Structures are given as C-alpha cells and as structure tokens.
Amino acid sequence: MWNRRKEDEIALKPASAPPTPSVLAKEGIPMSTLPSRTASESHVETHRGQAVLGKSVIVKGQIFSREDLTIDGEVEGTVELQEHRLTVGPNGKVTASVKAREIVVLGTIHGNVETTDKIDIRKEAKLVGDIRTARIVIEDGAYFKGNIDIVRAEAPKPQPAPAPKPQPVASAPAPAVAPALAAGAGDHKR
Amino acid sequence: MSILDLAGANQATISFLTGYGHRLFSDDFMHQLDECFGEGDFYANQANPLMSGKFLDTALGFGDGLFDGALVWDTLQFLANPLLQTVVNKLHRVLRPGSSMLAFFHAEERVETIPTYSYRIGDHRTILLQGRGRRRPAQFFNNRSLEKMFQDFESVKFFLTRDHLREVIVRR
C-alpha cells in the first residue's frame, strides 16, 4: 500500500508543473518567499551577470541597479548605476537622466548623461542632452546634440612630507665662571 | 571657454577642444535644417514664419552671451533671407563681447551647386574636410555682402583658402 500510494502521489504531482498560488495558499506557503519568475510572466531576465530590459518592456519611473544593465526597451524617468555599465541597445529608447560608471549607446537617449569613466556613442545612436564624463568616444554617423563637459578625476596630490618637529636641544652646562684669580696670582698690576 | 560647434559632433573636434579644457556645445546644423525645411522646397520653406520659428527654437534656442566662440563653418550659405539675417543676429546675441566666430563661404559665384563638407579640427594648424556631396546655396556672397551681413559685429576679416573657400573670422 505504501508503494502504491507513493506512485499515486507521483502520478498526481508531475515534477514539471509549478505549484499554483491557490495550492500554495492552502499549504500556507507565503508566495513572496518563492521565486516569482516564470517564463511567461516577466521579460526581465538576467544574462551573464547583467540585467536586461527587453525591447517590449516599458518602464516609467526610477531605475537603480547594482549590476550592469542593458536597456532594449523604453525607459522614462531616471537611471542610476553607480559603479556599473549601462548599455542602451539598438532598440532602446531612454528618456531619462542617466548616471553610470560607463555608458554604451547604440539606441536613443534623450536626457542628461553623467559617467565617472566613459561614454561610447556608436554610429547609429542618437543622444540629445548634456554629457558630463571623463572620456567620450563618438563614432562617425552618430547624432549628438548638447554640451560636453570633460571632468577628469584629479590625481591625488602628493601629501607634503610633514615638517620635522624641532628636536629639543639638550642645554649645555653653563660655562663655569673662572674663579677670580687669587689676588696676586698671575696678575700683574702695575 | 564655451564653444558652439555647428558641424555636428565628431571625435577629432571634441578631443581637440576638450583637450584644452573647453566646454563644447555641439549640433549638426545642416541636419536641423533638413529636418525643419527638407520636405518640399527647402528655401521656400525657410520663408514660412512658423517653420522658421520652430527651427530657431530647436537649433539656436540659447540664452544671450553663452558662448566664447562659434564655429558655424559653411552653414550660413544654406540660409535664405530673412532667416539668414535672423540667424546672424541670434549668433551675435549668444556670443559674448570679444568672442570670435568662424565661417566659410564658397568663393565661386557662377556655379549651380557647391560642395559641402564635414569639418573636423585635426590640430591647431589643421582642419580636415570630408566631402558630403553638393547642394544649391541660397545665394552667393562677396566681401561687400559679408560685411553688410556682419555689420553688427566689431570686425570682419577675410582669408581666401584652398578649394575656393573664403574663410571669415568675425569678432563680436
């Protein structure tokens, strides 16, 4: 009987079917602790350690990322990747202010852009907005309209060597005052 | 310094000017002209007040006294009056007193079309010209017509260069 029940359970619960929310609710498993990604739900996927917004994704709001991000859809708002790279793919359309360590533009950006390292504008790209960066690379065929401010990180100035503290000078004993010669001794008075 | 460059952004000019620590505002003026007036008769459209107003807002929507220099290259040749004089007056306002503007005008007068170029600053002695085809200019300019056009500027200097180009340096 044990084996048969086990077989029945296996037959009733095929391994490939994910638990439905109603089943999970009955079993008392909070859904928030379960991985929420399924193939049909989200077009956001991680690929090789970076996040990707596919070309059918539209985001209106603020994006903060702690990993490299590729945008191939539409984003409106702000995008911040402090120490990472943002790639705007050929289908990407970003209407936002953007801050990142590095930005590669193959699509379109309307907005001000700030990078700590480099911005790379490829030949089919379009960027309208001000750029503030340490380095810029722009290919022939790219369209750019805006200000360019190159901000190079200053090399740390060498700290001046601290002035040596004056060493206390050991006080020399005061020269003994030669005792007055005894009268008559060595004194020739005329 | 803050420089206005109407040739369209290119690596050579950006590297040269920013290498000196200057700030650069870059736009492709000819691209803007084609976007605004390209459908139909290019020069007749420039006489349309609505279209020319939209063009001025898009291409030259700057405040007064913003720039210490302007590189307008050969773009003024493709503006018909009254838009041409309006643009020149606007350039006068956006430049700070004492600043300079560089413009090129084709010196040949008996031609239907003139060559157009993409201009890039190679170094302090070299400007690189890359051919971009030929276009019909709005009009031909001689020294007298250029002096009249830039009459609000402090001085106008002319230099004749190779390739039938008249180089004009105008001081605000």
- Predicted confidence at residue A106, as pLDDT, reads 98
Encode B15-45: b = buried (16+ Cβ within 10 Å), e = exposed: bbbbeeebbbbbbbbbebbeebbeeeebbeb
Beta bridge partners of B105: B166
Q: Which residues contact A133 (CB under 8 A, 6 or more apart)?
A: A113, A114, A115, A117, A118, A119, A148, A149, A150, A151
Per mean pLDDT, which range of A15-24, B14-23, B50-59 is the poorest?
Answer: A15-24
Cα–Cα distance, B169 to A120 (Å, whole number): 33
CATH number, domain containing residue B79: 3.40.50.150
Q: Which residues contact B49 (CB under 8 A, 6 or more apart)?
A: none
Instruction: Say whether the peptide bond before residue B49 is cis (omega within 30 degrees of 0).
Output: no
Cα–Cα distance, A102 to A85 (Å, whole number): 5
- Predicted confidence at residue A182, as pLDDT, reads 35
Q: Is A149 on the interface with B (CB under 8 A)?
A: yes
Q: Is B48 on the interface with A (CB under 8 A)?
A: no
Contacts of residue A146 in chain B, CB cutoff 8 Å? 25-27
All structural domains of chain A with their residue ranges: 41-150
Mean pLDDT over all residues of chain B? 92
Contact A146 B25 (CB under 8 A): yes
Tell me the residue range of the domain where B19 lies: 2-171
B34 phi, psi to nearest 5 deg: -65, -35
Q: For A29-84, what is each residue's pLDDT tens digit?
A: 444 444 444 444 444 444 556 899 999 999 999 999 999 999 999 999 999 998 99
Other CB atoms within a 10 A radius of the CB of residue A150 amount to 19
For chain B, the C-alpha Rg in angstroms (whole number) is: 15
Q: Is the pLDDT of residue B56 over 60?
A: yes
Q: Is A23 on the interface with B (CB under 8 A)?
A: no
- Considering CB atoms only, which of B11, B25, B28 is closest to A147? B25
Q: Which residue of B has its CA nearest to A140?
A: B10
A108 phi, psi to nearest 5 deg: -130, 135
Q: Is A118 on the interface with B (CB under 8 A)?
A: no
Beta bridge partners of A104: A87, A120
Contact A142 B23 (CB under 8 A): no
State the total domains in chain B: 1
Distance from CA of B4 to the nearest CA of A (A): 9
A177 phi, psi to nearest 5 deg: -70, 125
Distance from CA of B52 to the nearest CA of A (A): 19
Within 13 A of A21's CA, how many CA atoms are on the CB side? Answer: 4
Q: Of A14 and A123, which is predicted with more confidence?
A: A123
pLDDT interval class at A12 (50, 70, 90):
very low
Q: Is A52 on the interface with B (CB under 8 A)?
A: no
Contact B10 A138 (CB under 8 A): yes
Q: Is A137 on the interface with B (CB under 8 A)?
A: yes
Q: Which residues contact A106 (CB under 8 A, 6 or more apart)?
A: A87, A88, A89, A90, A92, A122, A124, A125
Q: Which residue of A has its CA nearest to B67?
A: A147
Q: Of B81 and A58, which is predicted with more confidence?
A: A58
Contact B18 A136 (CB under 8 A): yes
Cα–Cα distance, B79 to B42 (Å, whole number): 9
Per-residue pLDDT, averaged over B112-136, amounts to 90
- Predicted confidence at residue A159, as pLDDT, reads 62
Q: Is A31 on the interface with B (CB under 8 A)?
A: no
How far apart, in Å, are the Cα atoms of A110 and each of A65, A142, B11, B33? Answer: 20, 14, 20, 20
- Considering CB atoms only, which of A137, A145, A148 is closest to B18? A148
Q: For B93-108, what is each residue's pLDDT tens digit?
A: 999 999 999 999 988 8
Q: Of A189 and B106, which is predicted with more confidence?
A: B106
Candidates B26, B33, B58, B67: best to mutate against A (most CBs of A within 10 A) is B26
Q: Which of B56, B29, B40 is nearest to B132 (CA)?
A: B29
ipTM of the complex: 0.90
Contact A86, A69 (CB under 8 A): yes
Q: Is A59 on the interface with B (CB under 8 A)?
A: no
- Please, what is the end-to-end C-alpha distance for chain A in angstroms? 146
pLDDT interval class at A162 (50, 70, 90):
low
Mean pLDDT over all residues of chain A? 74
- Predicted confidence at residue B161, as pLDDT, reads 77
Cα–Cα distance, B71 to B170 (Å, whole number): 11
- Predicted confidence at residue A82, as pLDDT, reads 83
- Predicted confidence at residue B109, as pLDDT, reads 76
- Predicted confidence at residue A165, as pLDDT, reads 62
**E strand or H helix that includes residue A128:** strand A126-128
